[in-house]
Amino acid sequence: MSETTESAASIFTVGNYAPVTDELTAFDLPVDGAIPPELAGWYLRNGPNPRTATGHWFTGDGMIHGVRIENGRAAWYRNRWVRTDSFISDFPLYNEDGTRNLRASVANTHVVNHAGKTLALVESSLPYEITNELETVGAYDFGGRLVDSMTAHPKICPTTGEMHFFGYGNISAPHVTYHRVDADGTLTINRGIDVPALTMMHDFALTPNYAVFLDLPIVFDLGAAMDGEMPFVWDDDYGARFGLLRRDDPFGQVRWVDIDPCYVFHVANAHETSSGSLVLQAVRYPELWRRGGGSDAEGVLWTWTVDPITGAVSEGQLDDRAVEFPRIDDRLATRAARYVMSVGNRSWVRHDLVTGDAVEHRFPASGPGNPGEAVFVPCNDGPADESSGWYLGYVYDADRDGSDLVILDASDVAADPVATVHLPQRVPYGFHGNWIAD
C-alpha cells in the first residue's frame, strides 16, 4: 500500500468513519418532538462498515441501518451487514475463465425498492436482495437475465414504473451496458454502450425521452491498481461528454455531445423543456483523483442544457456552496423538480431551481451536526407537492459519539426538526438510502 493510500485509509478508521461492531435490534426508540402520524414505513440507509482495518473505506462491507416508523412512533432500529456470498466465505473476484465474479460484493452503496424487491447495491457487482427487516435473501440477477454489474444509482420512471440502470467494469468492450426492467420486475433490455475506455461511471440521468450517460475522465489505470492505489484516476486527454439514447429506440444510436471536463458522482435530476432541450442538474467537480494527488476540489451544484438535435450545450454553476448527495421528490424524477436537497457543511441545503435561492437547515456547532443524505417523504400519494412532506436523514453527534434520525417539515426546512429519534448506537458515515412506504 502506498503512503498516500495508507494515510487515506487511516482517516477512515477514526471518528464517525470508524465501523461499529454490533448488529443491534432496539424497540420503541426515544423521540424528541412528535413523529407525524402520516409516516408509515421504513427508512433504510447503506454504507461501508469494514470488518478489518485494512483497505480503503470504499471497499468496506455494506451495512444497512434501518428505522421502522408507524403510528407516530419509532417502532424499531436495526443494523445488519449485507451477507453477500463473499461476506460469508472467500469468493474470488474472477472466475476460472477470467470473467468477473459478480456475486463477490460488498453491497455498500445504496438500497432501492422496485417491483416488491428491496436491493442493496454496489456498482461492481450484482445486487443483493434484502428484507425490510434487513435480513439478506441473496444475490439477485432478475431470473438469470442480468449477467453484468448494476449501478448503485438506478432510475425509476414515475410514469411507466420502469427501472433503468447500467453496468460497467468489463476490461474488454463494451465497457458499459444499459439495462431496463419493466414495472413488474422483468429485465427486458440489455444493450452495450460503446465508450473508448473503462471509466468510472457512477451515475446517469433519465428524462421522458432519453437515458443520458456520463462518459467522464476518471479512467481505469492498471499501474495505480497494481500499486494499491485507487484504480481510477483523472486523465487530461480523455475528454468529457454526455451520451443521449432515446428510450423509444433503446438499441439505436447514442448521440454524444462534448462538455467541459469535469466529474460527477451524483445527478440531482434531469428533465426536458417545452422546446425539447434536455436539462441536467448535478454536483460537479472540476477535477478529481490525479495520480499522486494535487486535487482537493469540492463539488457544487451545476446545470447543463443540451439541444439533442444540434448537440449544442450550455452549462453553468447554480451556487457556490460545496454540497453532495443531492435528492429530489422522487415522484418528479424525469420532470422539472423545483427543489434539490443536498448535504452542506454542517447543514442540509435546499436549492430552489426556479428562483436560484437556497435555504439551509443549519445544525449547531455542538451536538448533532454532521448530517448524511436527506430523503424526501411525501405526506400522501397524490400529485407531487414538494413542500408537503418531510426530509429524513441520519445526523451524527460527535459530543456523545451517537446518532439520531432527524425529521424536518419540508414546508419550513430552516425550522427546528419536527422530531428527533435517538438511536441506540452510532451510525457511521455512509452513502445512500430510501424511504419504503407501507
C-alpha cell belonging to residue 407: 425529521
Beta strands in 82-199 (DSSP E): 110-114, 117-121, 128-130, 136-139, 155-156, 163-168, 176-181, 187-193
Pairwise pLDDT comparison (289 vs 183), residue with the higher score: 183
370 or 98, greater pLDDT: 370
pLDDT at 95 (0 to 100):
77
Give the model confidence (pLDDT) of 48-71 as tens digits. 999 876 667 788 899 999 999 999
Binding residue per annotation — 271?
Answer: no
For 97-123, the pLDDT digits (tens) are 767 889 999 999 999 999 999 999 999
pLDDT tens per residue across span 260-278: 999 999 999 999 999 999 9
Q: Nearest CA to 1 among 234, 225, 290, 296?
A: 225
- Output b/e per residue, 100-122; b: 16+ Cβ within 10 A: bbbbbbbbbbbbbbbeebbbbbb
In this prediction, residue 297 has a pLDDT band, given cuts at 50, 70 and 90, of confident
Residue 90: per-residue pLDDT: 77
Residue 186 to residues 142, 156, 163, Cα–Cα distance (Å): 7, 14, 10
Please determine, for residue 5, whether its predicted confidence score (pLDDT) is greater than 50: no
Our measurement of the distance from residue 192's CA atom to the centroid of its chain's CA atoms, rounded to an integer in Å, reads 23
User: What single DSSP character describes residue 173?
Assistant: S
Contacts 24+ apart (CB under 8 A), 31-34: 31/73, 31/74, 31/419, 31/420, 31/421, 31/422, 32/417, 32/419, 32/420, 32/422, 33/407, 33/416, 33/417, 33/418, 33/419, 33/420, 34/72, 34/418, 34/419
Contact 148, 172 (CB under 8 A): no
Question: Which residues are bridge partners to 63 per DSSP?
Answer: 47, 81
For residue 35, the model assigns a pLDDT of: 98
Strands 187-193 vs 136-139: parallel, antiparallel or unpaired: unpaired
Residues of the chain above pLDDT 90, percent: 82
User: How many CB atoms are closer than 10 A to CB 14?
Assistant: 8
DSSP calls for 413-425: TTSPPSEEEEPSS
Residue of 297, 282, 174, 180 whose CA lies nearest to 234: 297
Count of C-beta atoms within a 10 Å radius of residue 418: 16
- On whether 114 is known to bind a ligand per the annotation, the reply is no
The grid cell for 366 is: 455542538
pLDDT at 112: 98
> What pLDDT, on the 0 to 100 scale, is given for residue 138?
97
Q: What is this structure's pTM?
A: 0.94
Q: Is 266 one of the annotated binding-site residues? A: yes
Q: Residue 354: which of 337, 333, 329 has the closest Cα?
A: 337
> How many angstroms separate the CA atoms of 187 and 6, rounded?
41
User: Residue 228's pLDDT is what?
Assistant: 66
DSSP E strands in 216-329: the ranges are 218-220, 232-234, 241-246, 255-258, 263-272, 278-285, 300-306, 313-317, 324-327
Query: 6 falls in which pLDDT band (50, 70, 90)?
Result: very low
Residues 133-192 pLDDT 10s: 999 999 999 999 999 999 999 999 999 999 999 999 888 889 999 999 999 999 999 999
Q: 10 Å Cβ neighbour count for 169?
A: 18
List the grid coordinates of 110: 445504496
351 in a labelled binding site? no
Strand spans (E) along 55-175: 62-70, 73-81, 110-114, 117-121, 128-130, 136-139, 155-156, 163-168
d(CA 43, CA 65): 8
Average of per-residue pLDDT across 183-205 = 97
Residue whose C-alpha cell reads 425539447 in the numeric block: 276
